[in-house]
């Protein structure tokens, strides 16, 4: 990563134990704001995903916002069918680094996202049966967030929907295959930088869940913040008028087109500036909404 600053990250080591309970097995992911590790929960003899954020002073209020949303969901009813359709939080704590604290979140480990599943498909689209299965779970998750907890997600996209794993051998093989001594990428500024490793494709998947609650906001009130990925921005967001739960539904609609058709419904690409522009995005929306079937830029093939 070009903007990598080692001092922002917690210098986790394979074999390190947190809270006398969680032992790191290997690194799964590395990102701009966190690293994700596979760990063993020695109390319950299970594998967990440990997400360690960069030092708290660099994260701002978003760090506490995400944890508060998880705690808000923990206090509610677990009888709603959408409860199992959102990623659960198993534990949270702070790890002390050399300069600051690092927030740690513990989750059940997951496999790949819908986006990765899409890329594995030669046609770069999601087959209709898989799409229907994913959408059923997604709408349950949204009803759970909107109706039960008055939470607006604001960032629904294919890489925030992940498949569960119902095959524990995936984790044990990951641990067994960690080279001894552990595979190192480099030593940098007195810390060990580990190579991220992928879990193998599980023999049995579990149901998909909606993840990433770092951008969620309380519902029941109108907002005007700029949210969503550019191609998924709702009209209210572009026009900078108050928005609420409906932005999530718009977001889902655009994503459905994207993962089923293999292309974006809207791009917002402005040929003059050769970049994304809000006015270009709005023009595309108008063209799609008011075009007759014959004039539609997205004609559908007639059924035989």
Q: How far apart are CA 63 and CA 61, in angstroms?
A: 5
Element of type H or E holding 94: strand 91-96
206 contact partners, CB below 8 Å, separation of at least 6: 163, 164, 165, 166
Which positions are catalytic?
Answer: 155
3-class state of residue 270 by DSSP: strand
Contact 115, 158 (CB under 8 A): yes
Instruction: Identify the bridge partners of residue 41 per DSSP, sorted by sequence position.
Output: 22, 46
Phi, psi for residue 26 in degrees, rounded to 5? 180, 165
Contact 86, 145 (CB under 8 A): yes
């Amino acid at each position: 990563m070009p903007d990598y600053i080692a001092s922002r990250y917690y210098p986790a080591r394979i074999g390190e134990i947190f809270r006398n309970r969680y032992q790191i097995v290997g690194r799964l992911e590395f990102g701009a704001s966190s690293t994700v590790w596979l760990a063993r929960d020695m109390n319950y003899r299970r594998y967990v995903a440990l997400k360690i954020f960069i030092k708290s002073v660099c994260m701002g209020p978003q760090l506490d916002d995400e944890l508060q949303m998880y705690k808000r969901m923990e206090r509610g009813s677990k009888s709603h069918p959408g409860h199992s359709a959102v990623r659960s939080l198993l534990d949270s704590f702070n790890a002390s680094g050399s300069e600051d604290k690092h927030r740690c979140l513990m989750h059940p480990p997951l496999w790949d996202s819908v986006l990765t599943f899409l890329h594995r498909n030669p046609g770069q689209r999601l087959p209709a049966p898989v799409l229907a299965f994913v959408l059923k779970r997604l709408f349950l998750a949204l009803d759970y967030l909107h109706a039960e907890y008055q939470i607006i997600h604001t960032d629904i996209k294919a890489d925030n929907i992940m498949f569960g794993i119902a095959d524990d051998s995936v984790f044990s093989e990951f641990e067994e295959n960690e080279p001894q001594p552990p595979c190192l990428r480099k030593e940098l500024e007195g810390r060990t930088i580990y190579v991220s490793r992928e879990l193998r494709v599980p023999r049995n998947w579990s149901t998909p869940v909606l993840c990433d609650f770092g951008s969620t906001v309380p519902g029941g009130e109108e907002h005007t913040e700029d949210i969503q990925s550019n191609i998924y921005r709702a009209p209210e967001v572009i026009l900078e008028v108050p928005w609420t739960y409906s932005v999530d539904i718009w977001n889902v609609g655009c994503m459905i087109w994207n993962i089923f058709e293999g292309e974006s419904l809207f791009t917002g690409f402005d040929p003059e500036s050769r970049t994304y522009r809000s006015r270009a995005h709005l023009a595309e929306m108008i063209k799609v909404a008011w075009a007759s079937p014959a004039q539609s830029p997205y004609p559908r093939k007639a059924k035989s």
